[in-house]
């Protein structure tokens, strides 16, 4: 039978690539729901191509445009963020691909888990913000969460057939981003355009800037802790500029397994959507003729402070990763608007973490309050930076 999928964030980088995967396997995968924030033209084109049961446009002012385009085709159209949370409960959905950006992925993920839907998770912030809450609910409901991030997919693949064997540590690989090797003086003058030129991956703006600051790797450390039930000392980061080895697992006997492939997000997306089956693909494949040398180096935590900030946030626990994530979202968008400099991103995040209210054992309401408070503090700090 076909696996019926809801793609939350279908017009973003992950969502559009997921639809490429669906297009290659129409006999295995069926699109049941598509959602978008505000890109109505692309959502309409996607809906007319894949003919889902329903679509949701979060930006309510775009609703009439989407409705008028899709109503003749008997495609249901809903509006607003609340509709995204509600639609994941549809009986006709087998799997929910969460490809939303940032905090917005948390509530739909929780609702989907409550409804017993299998989760393909491309929104790392969901586990960064409320990893303990999400993973406990998934255990209680017997719901599987399949990682879509290339690094966590690699760990997941390395663990196949090894779930009974103790993991000594995992090694997350990082490309190093566009500024690998640059010193403090050079980083003082980097531009938005330079930061958005990732050397290996094609990603959205937020993830690309996070990759440049190494915050993306910090978020992945926190995500890995919750996905694989690890302690922080068991999670190591190493820079691998070629981005061919996507991550590794070291077992108690000293053996290390690595998962390799070209830096192409369609591969981990397909693995999550079709697990446990490995389906053939027409995507480009790695050849040693093209890359005969793999190199590794330690991450530069002195000039790229966000990685250490993330380790500190998860060490403190409670709502601190939530505070950090909210501050990072505000800081990155401020940098993209050229309101702050590249090196002010970690400075802003650290200040928010020191000023926000700490809650050791937060509830969902506490996470929501922390997100609001941290964003407010970050916004106020941006105003001071500009003066």
pLDDT tens across 76-112, in order?
A: 999 999 999 999 999 999 999 999 988 889 999 999 9
Average pLDDT over residues 7-20: 97
Angle at 254 between CA 219 and CA 290, to 5 degrees: 65
Q: What is the rounded distance in angstroms from the CA atom of residue 31 to the CA atom of residue 43?
A: 13
**Sheet strands side by side (includes 54-57):** 76-79, 54-57, 29-36, 3-8, 95-98, 118-121, 145-147
Domain locations along the chain: 3-147, 317-387
Identify the pLDDT of residue 279.
Answer: 95
Identify the pLDDT of residue 385.
Answer: 81
Percent of the chain surpassing pLDDT 90: 93
Q: What is the rounded distance in angstroms from the CA atom of residue 138 to the CA atom of residue 121?
A: 12
Q: What is the rounded distance in angstroms from the CA atom of residue 353 to the CA atom of residue 320?
A: 7
203 pLDDT band, cuts 50/70/90, is confident
Q: Are strands 95-98 and 118-121 parallel, antiparallel or unpaired?
A: parallel
Lowest average pLDDT, out of 20-34, 37-51, 202-216, goes to 202-216
Identify the pLDDT of residue 387.
Answer: 58
Average pLDDT over residues 299-318: 97
Angle at 15 between CA 12 and CA 17, to 5 degrees: 105
Q: Is the pLDDT of residue 154 over 90?
A: yes
Q: Which residues have CB under 8 Å from 319's CB, separation 6+?
A: 358, 359, 362, 366, 367, 370
CATH code for the domain defined by 317-387: 1.10.1740.10
On whether the CB atoms of residues 119 and 98 are closer than 8 A, the answer is yes
Q: What is the rounded distance in angstroms from the CA atom of residue 83 to the CA atom of residue 58?
A: 8
Average pLDDT over residues 212-226: 96
Please tell me whether the overall predicted TM-score, pTM, comes out greater than 0.85 for this model.
yes
Number of Cβ within 10 Å of residue 81's Cβ equals 17
Identify the pLDDT of residue 78.
Answer: 98
Q: Is the pLDDT of residue 202 over 80?
A: no
Matching CATH number, 3-147, of 3.40.605.10, 3.40.50.300, 3.90.1150.10, 3.40.50.720: 3.40.50.720
Spell out the alpha helix ranges (H) of 25-124: 40-50, 63-70, 81-87, 106-114
DSSP character string of 289-312: TT------B---TTT-THHHHHHH
Which of 36, 293, 110, 334 is CA-nearest to residue 206?
334
Q: What is the rounded distance in angstroms from the CA atom of residue 300 to the CA atom of residue 297?
A: 9
Q: What letter does residue 277 receive in the DSSP assignment?
A: -
On whether the CB atoms of residues 220 and 152 are closer than 8 A, the answer is yes
171: three-class secondary structure by DSSP: strand
Q: Is the pLDDT of residue 335 over 90?
A: yes
On whether the CB atoms of residues 77 and 57 are closer than 8 A, the answer is yes
pLDDT in tens, 246-289: 999 999 999 999 999 999 999 999 999 999 999 999 999 999 98
Q: Is the pLDDT of residue 332 over 90?
A: yes
Find the radius of gyration of the CA atoms of the chain. Answer: 20
Lowest average pLDDT, out of 11-20, 67-76, 143-152, 200-209, goes to 200-209
């Amino acid at each position: 039978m076909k696996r019926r999928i809801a793609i939350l964030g279908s017009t973003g980088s992950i969502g559009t690539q997921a639809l490429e995967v669906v297009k290659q396997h129409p006999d295995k995968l069926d699109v049941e729901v598509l959602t978008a924030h505000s890109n109505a033209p692309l959502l309409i084109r996607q809906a007319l191509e894949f003919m889902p049961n329903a679509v949701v446009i979060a930006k309510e002012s775009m609703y009439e445009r989407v409705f008028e385009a899709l109503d003749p085709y008997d495609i249901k159209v809903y509006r607003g963020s609340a509709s995204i949370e509600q639609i994941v409960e549809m009986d006709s959905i087998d799997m929910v691909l969460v490809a939303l950006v940032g905090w917005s992925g948390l509530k739909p993920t929780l609702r989907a888990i409550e409804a017993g839907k299998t989760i393909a998770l491309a929104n790392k912030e969901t586990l960064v913000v409320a990893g303990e809450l999400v993973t406990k609910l998934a255990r209680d409901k017997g719901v599987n969460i399949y990682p879509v991030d290339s690094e966590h997919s690699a760990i997941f693949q390395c663990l196949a057939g090894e779930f009974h064997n103790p993991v000594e540590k995992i090694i997350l690989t990082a490309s190093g981003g566009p500024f690998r090797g640059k010193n403090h003086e050079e980083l003082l003058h980097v531009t938005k355009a330079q930061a958005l030129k990732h050397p290996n991956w094609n990603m959205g703006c937020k993830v690309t800037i996070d990759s440049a600051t190494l915050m993306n790797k910090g978020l992945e450390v926190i995500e890995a802790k919750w996905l694989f039930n690890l302690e922080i000392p068991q999670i190591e980061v190493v820079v691998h500029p070629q981005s061919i080895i996507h991550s590794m697992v070291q077992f108690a006997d000293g053996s290390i397994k690595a998962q390799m492939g070209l830096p192409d997000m369609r591969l981990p997306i397909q693995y999550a959507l079709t697990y446990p089956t490995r389906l053939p693909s027409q995507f480009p494949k790695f050849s040693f003729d093209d890359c005969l040398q793999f190199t590794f180096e330690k991450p530069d935590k002195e000039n790229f402070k966000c990685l250490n900030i993330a380790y500190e946030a998860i060490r403190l626990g409670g709502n601190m990763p939530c505070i950090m994530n909210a501050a990072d979202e505000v800081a990155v968008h401020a940098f993209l608007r050229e309101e702050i400099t590249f090196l002010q991103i970690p400075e802003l995040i650290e200040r928010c973490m020191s000023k926000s209210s700490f809650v050791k054992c937060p509830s969902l309401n506490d996470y929501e309050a922390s997100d609001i408070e941290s964003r407010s503090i970050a916004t106020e700090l941006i105003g001071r930076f500009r003066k």
